[in-house]
A = this chain, B = another copy of it.
Amino acid sequence: MTASRAGLLGIVVLAASLLTGEGFAAPDRDKLLNDPGVYGTFAAYRFTDDWARKEGATRIALLTVLKGVVEQHREKVVIDLYLLRGLSDHADIMFRVHANDLRDIQRFLVDLQSSAFGKQTQVAGIMHGLSKKANYVPAFPEDIKGNLKAASDPGPKPYVVVIPIRKSAEWWALDQQTRTAMMKEHTEAALPYITTVKRKLYHSTGLDDMDFITYFETSKLEDFHSLILSLEKVKEFQYTRRFGYPTWLGTAIGLDEIIEILAQ
């Protein structure tokens, strides 16, 4: 069994680089992650009790199935995988999936759930959002605009946090100018952390029970904590009706590492 496990593991590791952030070769990954009008879905799963009872070799075989499903859809969707186990309450893994058409994301997740791998999982939660052009930044002073262009610190950002947000009706009732003034204060509070905490905003109004999904990557979790604390102190935060529930905290580690961990 050790031999066959090694064999299976070999195949998997060989293919794994196709998925990891660095080695992913899909031509439009950068475009999908940076363009407006792209859908982003966060789908978290937990393993069934049955998974725990499988032998290591079976689990490796199931993980190659996962890899296969990912391969099948990589022409249309960009897929990132995170390990939530040990850090989040009732979820083990989370997919972040980007595509121009939400139906392509549905097709991937339906295939995933119907696969031999998916049958060992249960949905912990699914949230959808849409990338859009910055709403308030165009009206900001030039110095803030300049500061917002600061490059992120190089190197891996292993921690990932996903926080859904719902604003109050009072927020949306404010005129654009008043909201812009508050978002300027919000942005200024965030600026000190711009190089160590990478942020991405997804607009969810109507698509889900929230207005925004905020996504963060960092290697300095304490900076991330300080960033959120700063954001809770600005006036705009008083117009927040839901913050978290759930907060998903995980780590971005290559598929090969995740396979090693989950094959245990």
Contacts and interface: CB of A to CB of B under 8 A. Distances in A.
Q: How large is the interface on A (under 10, 10 to 19, 20 to 34, 35 or more residues)?
A: 35 or more
Nearest to A119: B52
Interface stretch (A12-20, A26-34, A81-89, A145-153): A81-89
A113 interface: yes
Nearest to A122: B49
A128 B222 CA distance: 12
Contact of A110 (B85, B170, B207, B208): B85
A244 interface: yes
A251 interface: yes
B228 A206 contact: yes
B102 A159 contact: yes
Q: How often does this chain occur in the complex, in copies?
A: 5
A133 B120 CA distance: 44
Interface stretch (A2-10, A136-144, A232-240): A232-240
Given A86-B107, A161-B206, A209-B247, 10 more contacts: A53-B119, A86-B105, A86-B108, A86-B113, A87-B106, A87-B128, A169-B240, A172-B232, A205-B228, A206-B225
Question: 3 nearest interchain CB pairs?
Answer: A206-B228, A86-B109, A86-B106
Interface of A: 37, 39, 43, 48-49, 52-53, 83, 85-90, 102-103, 105-114, 118-119, 123, 125-126, 128, 130, 158-159, 161, 163, 169-170, 172-173, 203, 205-209, 211, 221-222, 224-225, 227-229, 232-233, 235, 237-238, 240, 243-247, 249, 251, 261-262, 264
